[in-house]
Every structure is written in structure tokens, then in C-alpha cells.
């Protein structure tokens, strides 16, 4: 996609199709993102939050360390979803060096930001106390759909092949507490099925 990604991005911008633009960034490889380097300042500061979120995610996924400061700036984005993606990207770029900031955000008054930070802290430390605190947020009666979704997405991303037993149980417990027809339920089932298939293949 590297050869035509700039054209595709420009066409999406011309049509003002921000969903398509975000999808292009979501599917972009590291080489694609490198090709878009001259456009990144505009994309990471785009007026539509979904484009900003996809841009910081792509930078983190591609480990473009030179953009760490730009990603860090998005931690103060006006949109909490963008802030969450920026924190994940910041962790992808800095690893253990991002932990002091992550630890501070574990006490954020914004529940979604706090849940994101706790999930990332657990990914790095496997601290059972952190996990239990996070579990308490997600299993709270009437827990916001998006709080659960962001945490489960983080675990799906970082525990692609070998999720801890406690994480698998959390997925199952959340699944039992959401409407079976909901999008979140379908996503959880898909993740659990994928983990089971990969585990079975590894054993064989």
C-alpha cells in the first residue's frame, strides 16, 4: 500500500470522509506511515477525533520514536478517546520509560483514562493488585460500555497469543454481564475463540 497511500489519504480528505481516512491509517504499515511523514503533523492535529486517534495509534504501532513528543501532546487532547490511544502509543514508543506517567494516570479522575492506564500498567508489570483494582472497575454494576471496551481491546492487543488466566476469566465474566446481542459480546466471543484456537494449535 506504500506506493499509493498518500493518494488514498488525499482522496479521503478531499471527500471529507474521515471514517475512510481513519481506516486507511488503521491498515497502514510502518513503511506506509513513513511515507506519510510530511502529512503527520496535520493528521495528528486533525479536527476530527477519529483521525487523531488513528494517527497516534499508527505511530505507536509502527514504533516511530521520533514522534514521541507529538504523541505525548495528544495526552492532553480534548477528546478522551484520543487521550487513551495516545497513552497506548506513548507506551509502545517508550516502554518502561512511560511507566511514571502511566502510574500517575492510574489515579486520574477520568475513569476511562484511569482504566487505560491501569490496563497498560498490568500489561507491563503483571501486578495482581493492579489487576484486581482494574477488575473492580470493569465488573462494577452499570459499568460504562466504553470503559470495558478499551481495557479489553488493550488486553487483546498485548496478549495476542498468551493471555494470563486471570485475563481470560475477566473476558468471560464481562461476557456474562452484557447483552448477548451487543457488539461488545460479539467482540469478546471472537477474542476468546481466537485465543482458544491459538492455544490448541500451540499444544499440538
Give 69's Cβ-side CA count (13 Å radius): 2
Domain count, the chain: 1
In a domain, 50, yes or no: yes
In a domain, 132, yes or no: no
Give 174's Cβ-side CA count (13 Å radius): 33
In a domain, 70, yes or no: yes
| pTM, to two decimals | 0.87
Q: Is the pLDDT of residue 204 over 80?
A: no
Q: Residues near 117 by Cβ (< 8 Å), separated by ≥ 6?
A: 87, 102, 103, 104, 105, 106, 108
Q: Is the pLDDT of residue 182 over 90?
A: no
Q: Binning pLDDT at 50, 70 and 90, where does residue 33 land?
A: confident
Q: Binning pLDDT at 50, 70 and 90, where does residue 171 land?
A: very high
CA distances from 137 to 47, 114, 121 (A): 31, 10, 15
pLDDT tens sequence across 50-76: 999 999 999 999 999 999 999 999 999
Q: What is the mean pLDDT of the chain?
A: 91
Amino acid at each position: 500500500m506504500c506506493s499509493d497511500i498518500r493518494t488514498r489519504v488525499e482522496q479521503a480528505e478531499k471527500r471529507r470522509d474521515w471514517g475512510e481516512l481513519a481506516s486507511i491509517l488503521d491498515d497502514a504499515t510502518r513503511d506506509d506511515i513513513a511515507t506519510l511523514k510530511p502529512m503527520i503533523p496535520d493528521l495528528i492535529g486533525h479536527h476530527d477525533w477519529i483521525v487523531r486517534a488513528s494517527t497516534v495509534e499508527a505511530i505507536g504501532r509502527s514504533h516511530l520514536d521520533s514522534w514521541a513528543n507529538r504523541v505525548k501532546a495528544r495526552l492532553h487532547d480534548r477528546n478522551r478517546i484520543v487521550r487513551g490511544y495516545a497513552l497506548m502509543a506513548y507506551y509502545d514508543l517508550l516502554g518502561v520509560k512511560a511507566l511514571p506517567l502511566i502510574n500517575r494516570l492510574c489515579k486520574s479522575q477520568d475513569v476511562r483514562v484511569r482504566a487505560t492506564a491501569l490496563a497498560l500498567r498490568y500489561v507491563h508489570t503483571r501486578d495482581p493488585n493492579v489487576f484486581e483494582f482494574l477488575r473492580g472497575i470493569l465488573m462494577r454494576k452499570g459499568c460504562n460500555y466504553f470503559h470495558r471496551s478499551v481495557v479489553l481491546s488493550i488486553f487483546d492487543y498485548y496478549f495476542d497469543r498468551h493471555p494470563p488466566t486471570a485475563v481470560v476469566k475477566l473476558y468471560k465474566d464481562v461476557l456474562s454481564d452484557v447483552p448477548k446481542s451487543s457488539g461488545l459480546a460479539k467482540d469478546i466471543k471472537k477474542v476468546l475463540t481466537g485465543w482458544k484456537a491459538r492455544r490448541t494449535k500451540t499444544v499440538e
